[in-house]
Amino acid sequence: MKLRIAFHPLQFQASLAAGGVALMAFNYLQFAIPHQDGLITLSNIRWDTLTGDQRWIGIPLIAILLAFTLVHFLLTAFFTWRLPSWFTVPAGYRGFMADPYKNVGIFPIVASLSMTANVFWGPLGFFVPQVSSNLQALMLPSLVFFGLLWLLLFFLEFKVVKTWLAGEVDKTKFNFVWLLDAFAFGLVSLTGSGVVAITTNRTIAVLAVVGTIMTLIVGLSLLLYKLVRLAAHHIRAGKLPDNPVLPAFFLVVPIACLFGLSIYRLAKYAQLYVAFDLGATQSVVVVASYAITIVWGMAAVYLIRGYFKSYFVKSQFAPTQWGFV
């Protein structure tokens, strides 16, 4: 039986979202459930010290963690399996990348694969001792994977920027979906900073630091430039985009968190090699990034309140709705 749904790069948002939910559950367990030093695993939870409330919270979270970890890897494998055939059809990769209004949709592929590395280290390691107990041995392959993602990300960014600068491109047609490349830069930065945070090998750490700094500089520049342009356009137009696009407003929330966490990790690593205290800087970065996400999230809810009241429930699914997740 053939699949009737044609492949599209935006489908990788599903695996990306599943990985994000798995990471949220993992991070909550990491900080809320007593366990031995290091990353939390199923085997190092101090079950005998858990209170009743901790058990009521921990057990459902472990179930969520398992479910969404499996969903992430299954969807990633499925979409990756379908990806090669997309390159062979006339309206596939080449046609997609030639359209300056759509080609930013290529970046969920890179973003999802970046999420895979983080799900591998944390949520998968939670259940698989062979992963959690051999993280240091996995850091060199992880660095290589980060390097491949880095090259792919910059290659695709060069390709899409080239189409944006060539010919007559009406930039007023862009909307907040235009931030998908900044989102990918945030996730690749998270992967690179993850290598920095985990590895004990200085050479691997330094290489990851250099790559991460470059993704942060380019990613933050893209984010600021595009936010200013988009905000200015919508203010001049005096109206919001069409309903199917409105959920993309929420893309700023995870992007701010990703950049903030990546900078925090780099600052924490730098603390090992500088004489002055960076603790205050680390706190400011984390607080600022989460403050931005809260303020932006509340503002986005207010701005598109009409979307929730009269459109969301009866609307058909749109890829931009993954922005809510």
The predicted-structure confidence for 256-301, as pLDDT tens digits, reads as follows 999 999 999 999 898 887 766 777 777 788 788 888 888 988 888 8
85 within domain boundaries: yes
74 within domain boundaries: yes
Residues 77-125 pLDDT 10s: 999 999 998 888 877 888 899 889 899 999 999 999 999 999 999 999 9
Query: Could you tell me the residue range of the domain that residue 109 belongs to?
Result: 1-131
Whether the CB-CB separation of 219 and 185 falls below 8 Å is answered with yes
Residue with tokens 């749904």: 5
Q: How far apart are the first and last CA of the chain?
A: 31
Cα distances (Å, whole numbers) of residue 7 to 162, 181, 202, 268? 24, 20, 41, 41
CA distance 213 to 211: 6
Residues 199-253 pLDDT 10s: 999 999 999 999 999 999 999 999 999 999 988 888 887 777 777 778 888 888 8
Residue 325: predicted pLDDT: 67
CA distance 159 to 188: 18
Residue 1: predicted pLDDT: 38
Work out the pLDDT band at 4, boundaries 50, 70, 90.
low
Q: Which position has the higher pLDDT, 51 or 180?
A: 180
68 within domain boundaries: yes
159 within domain boundaries: no
42 within domain boundaries: yes
Specify the number of domains making up the chain.
1
**pLDDT at position 153 over 80:** yes
302 within domain boundaries: no
* ∠ Cα 178 118 34 (to 5°): 130
149 within domain boundaries: no
